[in-house]
A and B are shown apart, each in its own frame.
Chain A
């Protein structure tokens, strides 16, 4: 019996096998199970008597022994019972521990696959229909609906229960919380549950070992610092900033054309070097776009290109190749390649320059006309796209990881929104 601030036990002798066992509730107990033979002692007739069929006793010691005392969620509890349940018609089994405090009442600790949930009774202020239940302004998604079947139990209870009864249970989740409604012939009760880290249970009851974890718990929270909405906000701000920067780069780029030269390439120039007119770059270090526009049609042209600094002799080399093909196949027209191509050379300093071109054309093409253009300080989107990719890499990875986590969670549910 619990008196003052201590816990002592009342000894009860089993009415079937006469074995003594402990009771923490004393006269407040309604149902007691003999831990030796499983005989059920009940107050249902008004006086404590052995009634009905014996209860199956657990064949393994519960993770939290009956009689354990611990502080959970700032409330001191003594564990007064342990029950092993299963979902009727399936192999899903879980454990329930009744926690008792004479001032705060009772709570339940539920354990499935090493994941723990702390449940307390709530008033039936649950609204909503179908797949959603609303409680205290929050929406909970339907996770399961089943009939529970009691497999084994030990300890004592403040109420009567029928071993044969199959409570109808409906569970809704909003991790790390859940709400569940439990209907029997004589009562309809709602509970609110909250995920408990197994470390907190182990610490609260000073346990040496805990059941191993498997999979994702029903209301196990996703470990991440960001909610979906906060991450979406961060992405929105980052992308907006990126777009502003890109617009700024675009509008501040000089796009200064410093050379345009037409070149006629015939067999006399094949594999020979062509020198362009010199041009001057002013305005500081910047990129340079070398473009080659041609009149090829279902053909190609190539120019090995070198940018030469007249004063220093520095050489910047690149290759430019234009291919353009088109046709009709199966009644549909197609194109491939382009007749105008360009290459970017980065960080070209000021100075006087000229280009040396080594053009190559197909032998069956008599000649090809090309126009070489050089433009300084052009806007290049590719760098920005790389930056955008880096910005989005983390949130994309985060969403993928989160989505995988939720799929795993809902794989245990008959109401999963995820396709298997």
Chain B
């Protein structure tokens, strides 16, 4: 058994890591960088995922803390997604209340996303391309970007279902009315999810790592 109460013991290097999320989840050993799946019964199996060689700019790191809406959070996981246009770093936030959200950095713009997706019909984006408008829940959105996932790496701890094996397409759209953002992820014709997001100023989150970048604030 590699999970002791709420602690994960790496089967490869025996490093112990506190579990920040409830199983089922994916976890990357912080020492040997191997990835594992922990199911609901806390059974650990090896999960082959690309190892993370992190040499990007450490504005946000796993273990960083912050505050949003007067609620404290900890950064517990990360996905690094290389798509056909750019690189996104998606940080998984665990709040003290138990709430979970994504903090996404794309070209060093920052967005907060609800962790829960809405399943939608493909009719919304049928025959629509970049530059055209779609309507969702009576609101008009401009399709601003279309990309395809090329490669994904993960680090830390994330829920098991957030690392899709297959490729997907992703639309970014912005409301014509109030600038609110949605991401539409198309896995296949029948599996399409919508995430609501909000652009934020990183300084709003009072991240513990920002003190190291005080000359850039």
Contacts and interface: CB of A to CB of B under 8 A. Distances in A.
Interface of A: 1-5, 10, 25-28, 30, 43-47, 76, 100-106, 121, 123-125, 127, 158-160, 183-189
| B-side interface mostly | mixed
Nearest to B50: A46
A287 to B, nearest CB: 70
Contacts of A30: 82, 85-87
B108 A183 contact: no
A332 to B, nearest CB: 64
Interface in B58-74: 58-59
Contact of A187 (B59, B82, B87, B130): B130
B147 interface: yes
Given A46-B82, A124-B176, A10 B55 contact: yes
A188 B56 contact: no
A5 B216 contact: yes
Contact of A102 (B85, B176, B213): B213
Size band of the interface chain B makes with A: 35 or more
B151 A102 contact: no
Interface stretch (B40-48, B93-101, B137-145): B137-145
Contacts, number: 114
Given A25-B57, A159-B85, A105 B109 contact: yes
Contacts of B84: 44, 160, 186
A265 B50 CA distance: 121
Contact of A3 (B57, B147, B177, B214): B57
A125 B217 CA distance: 27
Contact of A26 (B56, B107, B145): B56
A186 B145 contact: yes
Contacts of B57: 1-3, 25-26, 28, 102
Contacts of B202: 103
Interface string B124-153: 000000110000000000111111001100
Contacts of B210: 103
A158 B105 CA distance: 12
A47 B50 CA distance: 12
Nearest to B178: A125
Contact of A103 (B145, B174, B176, B216): B216
Interface in B152-206: 174, 176-179, 199, 202-203
A331 B173 CA distance: 75
A394 to B, nearest CB: 44
A369 to B, nearest CB: 85
A3 B109 CA distance: 18
B54 interface: yes
B130 A188 contact: yes
Contact of A160 (B85, B142, B176, B213): B85
B130 A158 contact: no
A101 to B, nearest CB: 5
Contacts of B56: 1, 25-28
A335 B213 CA distance: 87
A187 B145 contact: yes
A124 B213 contact: no
A102 B82 contact: no
Contact of B212 (A5, A124, A183, A187): A5
Given A4-B213, A188-B130, A158 B179 contact: no
19 contacts: A1-B55, A4-B213, A5-B214, A25-B56, A28-B57, A76-B216, A103-B59, A103-B108, A103-B203, A105-B107, A106-B107, A123-B179, A124-B144, A158-B108, A159-B85, A186-B84, A187-B85, A187-B144, A188-B131
A188 B144 contact: yes
Nearest to B145: A187
A163 to B, nearest CB: 15
B87 A4 contact: no
Contact of A185 (B107, B108, B130, B214): B130
Given A102-B57, A121-B109, A186-B85, 18 more contacts: A2-B57, A2-B216, A5-B214, A5-B215, A5-B216, A25-B57, A28-B87, A30-B86, A44-B150, A45-B150, A103-B210, A103-B213, A103-B217, A123-B179, A125-B176, A158-B107, A186-B145, A186-B147
A124 B142 contact: yes
B58 A3 contact: yes
A30 B84 CA distance: 10
Contacts of B86: 30, 158-160
Contacts of A103: 59, 108, 202-203, 210, 213, 216-217
A413 to B, nearest CB: 23
Contacts of B144: 124, 187-189
A185 B147 CA distance: 10
A10 B55 CA distance: 10
Contacts of B215: 5, 76
A268 to B, nearest CB: 96
A48 to B, nearest CB: 10
Closest 6 CB pairs of A and B: A46-B151, A5-B215, A123-B179, A27-B56, A158-B107, A105-B108
Contacts of A10: 55
Contacts of B199: 123
Nearest to B141: A124
